[in-house]
Structure 1
Amino acid sequence: MAIDIVTRRDWGARAPRGSYSTLTSTKGVKVHYTGGRVEPAILEDHDRCVAMVKSIQNFHMDGNGWIDIGYSMIACGHRKVFVGRGPKHLPAANGPDLNSGHYAVLALVGNAGLVQPNDEMLHGVLDAIAYLRETGGAGREIKGHRDGYSTDCPGDRLYAWVKKGAPRPGGGQTPPDPEPGDHPRFPGRLLKYPPVMRGDDVRTWQAQMKKRGANIDADGAYGPASKAACLAFQRQQGLDADGVVGKLTWDAAWEAPLS
């Protein structure tokens, strides 16, 4: 996976004050913003991005008393991804009792000045999420900090993008074709209806089924049309026809030969 990583050494991170708690997997990722003013000039000068990440770490360690910066990864407007605490380490930014459920990814936008993430920043956030899925066991959920915690974070602009399913800029919502022999890992939850289930994992499965000819929309909502498509596919593949996307049905969506 191509990702423009800025290592902790490269951005001059301070050493953590203690040992991280270990994470082996999460439900997904929560997206954050800085919560303060970000000067728009940061988009013209990557050194400003480095300085901001360092200042956030200082605030978290010296102001909050945390052992390190609270975020797992940080994305800037130059499509560079800074390593914060990194994969398999418990973040601190999601809120009390919420950190073990999701990794925390910060986008360098704020509540004043630069409030609209550019396309490169959105790509960076998605690069960070893909990296955490690949190396840290992150699940398919992409949520905003305000989901489950009383806060304005990640701001209305960034949150609107999250609520749309966090699509790749210019690429729509359909995931790219998987490499031969490779496909997205089963998300770990059963996709079923009723009630309607929503999420990035639903959209990923729907997009693959559309490629197989199913007459459904990749809208991220598993409802009656998705269940009908699932039932038809399961019968075609000789699987238990229950309309539920479990691991066998998920894997078969990519691995079964096209008829």
Structure 2
Amino acid sequence: MAFIPRSEWGLPATWPNRRVDPSRRTGFVVHWDGGPNPDDAADEIRLLLAYHRYHLHTTKTGGFDYNLAVGPITGNIYEGRGLDVVGAHAGGANTPNIGVILIGGPGNLTEKGQQGLRDAYALACKHTGRQLRQLAHRDVNRTGCPGDDIAAWVHAGGLSGGTVPAGGGSTGGPRFRPGDITVGVSVKQVQERLVAHGYNVGPHGIDNDMGTDTISAIRSFQDDQGIDVDGIVGPDTWGRLSAKPGTAKPTGLKAPAFPLPNDDWYFGPKSGPKQSVSGYYSHRSDLRRWQQRMKDRGWDINPDGLYGPQTRSIAVAFQKEKRLRVDGLIGASTWAAAWTEPVT
């Protein structure tokens, strides 16, 4: 378990929002996303970046809403906005409270997740110089967040007994930031190769700027190739980017588990039957994950978590391209293909 500064997992090194004196903090609020759980350490960061993009472009809160995040796989504490910045996690209660999100949804209160939350709480208490109130999101807003199990655990004093991460979060050895290039090429060259392989580097295109969209594209490329997903352009990543598109064969690709109850269900219009999940009433973060994946592959789609004409149109085009059943519905096969089929 370690403390991971925001600049090491993909957020800006500094955060412009209003600072809060530690003396004004009185509570520590636990949240969840309610969506899919991460599969591994790299998936924790992928989900955090998805949260950041959603908060930046859809909810318009300025980016990642939480002061801290905790990974249920690693127990790592990820710095979000930071302990001294106003969050956007709990309407009307952001100044007095430090907010932490346990990544994922049902089933994410693992032993590692519990210990990470305890350590995050200990870190927050040390920062403020006092014992903060242990709160679930539903204690300060009308919401079901963070689920019954986590809320009960928090109310029972589950946050007590943590240890502040030693050494400022350093895990020893060399550390690189996502987006670092270690092979002597320019950002422009990396972007050119990403575009050649069919990845979306953001609305400004090839601009020689290592922004969050380019880092996301690097991570998606690494994920597709079955190599370490760290957002760093090292020799292996550059070697695969340098290959002729279509010749750098992916290995060991794995799609995240289909998030709906069974293979008879699908993401589709809200006017459909019970098995048609539109994102308007549930599973919005899951549909947003598929949409973001398609955006990372180069499709022009807004990852808003809602099934509409744009999502249907892209699903149809994708199904035709990959020779899947063409119905515009995102069932188990269309879901998996977004990860396992090559980018063309």
1:76 aligns with 2:71: yes
Number of the residue aligned with 1:237: none
Cα distance in structure 1, aligned partners of 2:95 and 2:76? 25
C-alpha RMSD of matched pairs (Å): 2.3
Number of the residue aligned with 1:20: 18
Amino acid at match of 1:81: I
Work out whether residues 49 and 76 of structure 1, in 8 Å CA contact, stay in contact via their aligned partners in 2.
Answer: yes
Work out whether residues 103 and 138 of structure 1, in 8 Å CA contact, stay in contact via their aligned partners in 2.
Answer: no
Pick from 78, 81, 88: which aligns with 1:85? Answer: 81
Cα distance in structure 2, aligned partners of 1:61 and 1:15? 16
Note the residue ranges of structure 1 that are not aligned, 5 or more in a row. Answer: 169-174, 177-259
Pick from 41, 48, 67: which aligns with 1:46? Answer: 41
1:142 aligns with 2:138: no
Work out whether residues 17 and 67 of structure 1, in 8 Å CA contact, stay in contact via their aligned partners in 2.
Answer: no
Cα distance in structure 1, aligned partners of 2:108 and 2:60? 30
Work out whether residues 10 and 49 of structure 2, in 8 Å CA contact, stay in contact via their aligned partners in 1.
Answer: yes
* CA deviation after TM superposition for structure 1 residue 118, in Å: 0.3
Could you list the per-position Cα deviations for residues 11-50 of structure 1 after superposition, in whole angstroms to 9, with x for gaps in the alignment? Answer: 0114677433323231120100113x214xx2x4100000
Cα distance in structure 2, aligned partners of 1:137 and 1:161? 24
Aligned runs of 1:216-255 on 2, under 5 Å?
Answer: none
| Structure ranking higher in strand proportion | 1
Work out whether residues 31 and 145 of structure 1, in 8 Å CA contact, stay in contact via their aligned partners in 2.
Answer: yes
Could you list the per-position Cα deviations for residues 27-78 of structure 1 after superposition, in whole angstroms to 9, with x for gaps in the alignment? Answer: 120100113x214xx2x41000001011101111111112231101000021
1:99 aligns with 2:77: no
Which structure's CA Rg is the greater one? 2
Cα distance in structure 1, aligned partners of 2:48 and 2:134? 22
**Greater relative CO (CA pairs within 8 A, separation 6+):** 1
Work out whether residues 17 and 68 of structure 1, in 8 Å CA contact, stay in contact via their aligned partners in 2.
Answer: no
Note the residue ranges of structure 2 that are not aligned, 5 or more in a row. Answer: 163-344
Aligned runs of 1:173-188 on 2, under 5 Å?
Answer: 175=161
Amino acid at match of 1:63: T
Amino acid at match of 1:88: D
Cα distance in structure 2, aligned partners of 1:59 and 1:136? 29
With normalisation by structure 1, the TM-score equals: 0.57
Amino acid at match of 1:32: H
Q: Secondary structure at the match of 1:146?
A: helix
Aligned runs of 1:188-207 on 2, under 5 Å?
Answer: none
Could you list the per-position Cα deviations for residues 84-113 of structure 1 after superposition, in whole angstroms to 9, with x for gaps in the alignment? Answer: 011111111011x21112100110131xxx
Work out whether residues 134 and 159 of structure 2, in 8 Å CA contact, stay in contact via their aligned partners in 1.
Answer: no
Number of the residue aligned with 1:199: none
Cα distance in structure 2, aligned partners of 1:72 and 1:120? 19
Q: Secondary structure at the match of 1:150?
A: coil
Amino acid at match of 1:48: D
* Percentage identity across paired residues of the two chains: 23
Work out whether residues 7 and 13 of structure 2, in 8 Å CA contact, stay in contact via their aligned partners in 1.
Answer: no
Cα distance in structure 2, aligned partners of 1:56 and 1:66? 11
* CA deviation after TM superposition for structure 1 residue 147, in Å: 0.3
Could you list the per-position Cα deviations for residues 128-155 of structure 1 after superposition, in whole angstroms to 9, with x for gaps in the alignment? Answer: 1111111244642110000021000011
